[in-house]
């Protein structure tokens, strides 16, 4: 009898263990992440986006960069390079290659791959990321190499372990931009054509055969989806996520996919997505301020280069700044989709000098009168966005300016080059432009197309050149203060707000706090700590 009881007790204990194991097994959550990304970008029509232009999370999973950026896009951690050092004067950068790194076909990642990648960026054959190319131009010997006068970049010296980069002068963003350089495997891509944009549409991009990141492509249905799974040769910390399914879709369909539960995370700047997702249960939004300014660019000259009048008097531009209640307009239309700013620096940046114009209709009217403004003239604004919010912004500008006696006509155009840059019948154009950092934003002032409307290149050239070599934080702060005061003094452009990136995250996905940065660049998403929790 005692033996029977013992047996029963043992059987019950065994059953409880088996049941607990079965329960635990049944409770395990499948670690498959569902994402969605556009079917084409920058002429690439093969689903995969080559890693030298606007980036996505899958690119971050497929490719390693020289140095890993933090979410603020500053050089932060080793990636392909184990160490890096920059000389006191900012002209010599030394990097050492991490040992034991392999491409996803098991081939070693070598310094030859790195140098070959630098050469492709510098040879001028392709239209690569302008932010990175702007930095590469500072490498000694760039001009001769770019012109085909030599087959070697003078400023690059290397051996199997160490790369030394000598610059002709300091470039403030150089080291941080190395975080955006994803070397390609030379043995795979060296026979691809890099002329013009042909690399972007090379047949090789129908698949990603060899890459360097934590994941590899294991399945691809063109125009429909592709699947990423762990790279067996990846030497970093493994991710909890074991499969990533990337649905290929038009950006306009992202929120539709979310409504059906078909996506765990997506990034958007769309007001339409915001309207849909705020009424969609099971998702939360993380707002990420980025340099994606909406602004008015004034136009002083007609198509023949003759002065147009009306806005070429700075007092008229000051009146436009003061005559519209921008805070009310932007806050009311965008809420937390946008952040207000008045210069080429984000308002939450430590180097922002602060707001310099405020709503003052009486002051605006006085400025117009002082300038002898012709109130019979109708200010013409070109805009090229089709969303209703843009139309609302145009209506708001017309309303507020009408209150001080100024007529405004907002005209939609889909032919920006022809109407805005060539025809130049406008007094203002409503633009949206993104940038890597404040330096790349202010470099926009030196573009020929902007100069043709404003003559701004000669005014800002020295200030931008000073910022380009502002190697220390102190010099950067001084240079940015000068440029922002030049913004205030000249008002060639009138920044009014920057669109935040909306990162929509499903409740079934757990991510680290504060892990999101600008989703158009390479940075550390802390992806190894992402987890599907239900």
Q: List the chain pLDDT tens, one digit each, 534 residues.
A: 444 444 433 333 444 333 444 434 445 899 999 998 876 554 455 677 678 877 889 999 999 999 999 999 999 999 999 999 999 889 999 999 999 999 999 999 999 999 999 999 998 777 677 889 999 999 999 999 999 999 999 999 999 999 999 999 999 999 999 999 999 999 998 888 777 666 666 777 677 789 999 999 999 888 888 999 999 999 999 999 999 999 887 766 788 889 888 899 999 988 888 889 999 999 999 999 899 999 999 999 999 999 998 999 999 999 999 999 999 999 999 888 898 899 999 998 999 999 999 999 999 999 999 999 999 999 999 999 988 889 999 999 999 999 999 999 999 999 999 999 999 999 999 999 999 999 999 999 999 999 999 999 999 999 999 999 998 889 999 999 999 999 999 999 998 899 899 999 999 999 999 999 999 999 999 999 999 999
For the chain, how are helix, strand and coil distributed in percent, rounded to 5?
A: 35, 25, 40
- 505: CB partners within 8 A, 6+ apart: 264, 265, 283, 284, 285, 286, 511
Specify which residues 321 forms β-bridges with.
none
Q: In which residue are the tokens 């890099």 written?
A: 194
Q: Please tell me whether residues 493 and 519 are part of one structural domain.
A: no
User: What is the β-pairing status of strands 75-78 and 81-86?
Assistant: unpaired
**Predicted pLDDT at 78:** 97
**Tokens for 170?**
């300091």
From residue 495, alpha-carbon distances to 169, 319, 487, 491 in Å are 31, 14, 9, 9
SS3 (DSSP) at 167: strand
Q: Please tell me whether residues 211 and 341 are part of one structural domain.
A: no
Q: Please tell me whether residues 237 and 138 are part of one structural domain.
A: yes
Q: Please tell me whether residues 446 and 330 are part of one structural domain.
A: yes
Is residue 383 exposed (0-12), middle (13-18) or buried (19+ Cβ within 10 Å)? Answer: buried
Q: How many domains does the chain have?
A: 2
**Predicted pLDDT at 466:** 95
Position 283 in a domain:
no
Position 8 in a domain:
no
Is 436 in contact with 521 (CB distance < 8 Å)? yes
Q: Could you write out the DSSP letters of every residue in 424-459?
A: ---SEEEEEEE-SSHHHHHHGGG-HHHHHHH--HHH
pTM attached to this predicted model: 0.86
CATH number for the domain spanning 230: value is 3.40.190.10
Q: Please tell me whether residues 523 and 451 are part of one structural domain.
A: no
Position 23 in a domain:
no
Position 133 in a domain:
yes
Q: Please tell me whether residues 298 and 250 are part of one structural domain.
A: no
Position 381 in a domain:
yes
**Predicted pLDDT at 165:** 98
Position 20 in a domain:
no
Position 18 in a domain:
no
User: Of the candidates 42, 73, 52, which has an alpha carbon nearest to the alpha carbon of residue 129?
Assistant: 52
Position 192 in a domain:
yes
For 249, other C-beta atoms within 10 Å of its C-beta total 20
First to last CA, the chain: 47
Integer Cα distance of 224 and 178 in angstroms: 33
Q: Please tell me whether residues 244 and 352 are part of one structural domain.
A: no
Q: Please tell me whether residues 364 and 497 are part of one structural domain.
A: yes
Q: Please tell me whether residues 451 and 524 are part of one structural domain.
A: no
Q: Please tell me whether residues 255 and 332 are part of one structural domain.
A: no
**Predicted pLDDT at 482:** 97
Is 182 in contact with 64 (CB distance < 8 Å)? yes
Instruction: Specify whether the backbone of 372 is left (phi greater than 0), alpha (psi in -120 to 50) or beta.
Output: left
Q: Please tell me whether residues 518 and 429 are part of one structural domain.
A: no
**Tokens for 282?**
């099971």
Q: With b meaning 16 or more CB within 10 Å and e meaning fewer, what string describes 19-37? A: eeeeeeeeeeeeeebbbbb
Instruction: Specify whether the backbone of 440 is left (phi greater than 0), alpha (psi in -120 to 50) or beta.
Output: alpha
CATH number for the domain spanning 388: value is 3.10.105.10
For 206, other C-beta atoms within 10 Å of its C-beta total 13
Q: Please tell me whether residues 428 and 484 are part of one structural domain.
A: yes
Q: How far is CA 43 from the centre of its chain?
A: 18
User: Of the candidates 420, 428, 438, 448, which has an alpha carbon nearest to the alpha carbon of residue 498?
Assistant: 438
Instruction: Specify whether the backbone of 57 is left (phi greater than 0), alpha (psi in -120 to 50) or beta.
Output: alpha
Q: Which domain holds residue 89?
A: 33-264+508-532
User: Of the candidates 81, 57, 56, 88, which has an alpha carbon nearest to the alpha carbon of residue 67?
Assistant: 81
Q: What beta strand segments (E) does 75-176 contain?
A: 75-78, 81-86, 92-97, 156-158, 162-166
């Amino acid at each position: 009898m005692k033996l029977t009881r013992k047996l029963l007790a043992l059987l019950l204990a065994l059953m409880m263990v088996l049941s607990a194991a079965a329960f635990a097994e049944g409770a395990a959550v499948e670690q498959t992440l569902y994402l969605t990304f556009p079917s084409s970008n920058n002429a690439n029509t093969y689903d995969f986006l080559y890693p030298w232009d606007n980036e996505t999370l899958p690119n971050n999973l497929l490719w390693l960069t020289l140095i890993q950026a933090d979410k603020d896009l500053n050089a932060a951690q080793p990636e392909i390079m184990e160490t890096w050092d920059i000389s006191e004067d900012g002209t010599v950068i030394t990097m050492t290659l991490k040992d034991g790194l392999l491409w996803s076909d098991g081939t070693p990642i070598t310094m030859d791959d790195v140098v070959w990648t630098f050469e492709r960026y510098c040879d001028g054959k392709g239209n690569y990321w302008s932010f990175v190319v702007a930095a590469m131009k500072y490498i000694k010997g760039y001009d001769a190499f770019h012109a085909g006068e030599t087959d070697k970049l003078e400023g690059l010296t290397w051996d199997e372990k160490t790369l030394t980069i000598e610059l002709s002068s300091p470039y403030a963003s150089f080291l941080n931009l190395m975080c955006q350089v994803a070397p390609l495997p030379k043995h795979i891509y060296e026979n691809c054509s890099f002329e013009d944009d042909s690399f972007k549409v090379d047949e090789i991009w129908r698949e990603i055969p060899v890459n360097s990141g934590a994941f590899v492509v294991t399945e691809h249905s063109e125009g429909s989806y592709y699947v990423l799974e762990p790279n067996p040769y990846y030497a970093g910390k493994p991710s909890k996520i074991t499969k990533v399914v990337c649905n290929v879709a038009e950006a306009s369909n992202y929120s539709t996919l979310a409504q059906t539960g078909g996506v765990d995370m997506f990034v958007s700047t769309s007001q339409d997505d915001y309207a849909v997702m705020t009424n969609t249960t099971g998702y939360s939004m993380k707002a990420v301020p980025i340099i994606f300014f909406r602004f008015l660019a004034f136009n002083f000259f007609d198509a023949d280069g003759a002065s147009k009048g009306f806005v070429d008097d700075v007092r008229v531009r000051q009146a436009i700044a003061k005559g519209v209640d921008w805070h009310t307009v932007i806050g009311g239309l965008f809420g937390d989709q946008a952040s207000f700013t008045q210069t080429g620096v984000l308002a939450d940046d430590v180097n922002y000098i602060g707001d310099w114009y405020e709503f003052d209709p009486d002051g605006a009217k006085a400025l117009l009168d002082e300038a002898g403004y012709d109130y019979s003239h109708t200010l013409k604004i070109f805009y090229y966005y089709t969303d209703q919010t843009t139309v609302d912004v145009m209506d708001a500008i017309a309303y507020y300016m009408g209150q001080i006696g100024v007529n405004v006509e907002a005209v939609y155009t889909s032919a920006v080059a022809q109407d805005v840059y060539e025809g130049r019948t406008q007094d203002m154009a409503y633009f949206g432009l993104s940038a890597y950092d404040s330096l790349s934003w202010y470099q926009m002032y030196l573009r020929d197309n902007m100069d043709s409307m404003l003559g701004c290149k000669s005014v800002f050239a020295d200030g931008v050149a000073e910022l380009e070599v502002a190697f220390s934080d102190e010099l950067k702060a001084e240079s940015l203060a000068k440029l922002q005061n030049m913004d205030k003094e000249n008002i060639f452009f009138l920044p009014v707000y920057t669109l935040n990136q909306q990162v929509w995250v499903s409740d079934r996905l757990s991510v680290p706090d504060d892990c999101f940065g600008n989703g158009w660049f390479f940075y550390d998403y802390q992806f190894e700590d992402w987890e599907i929790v239900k």
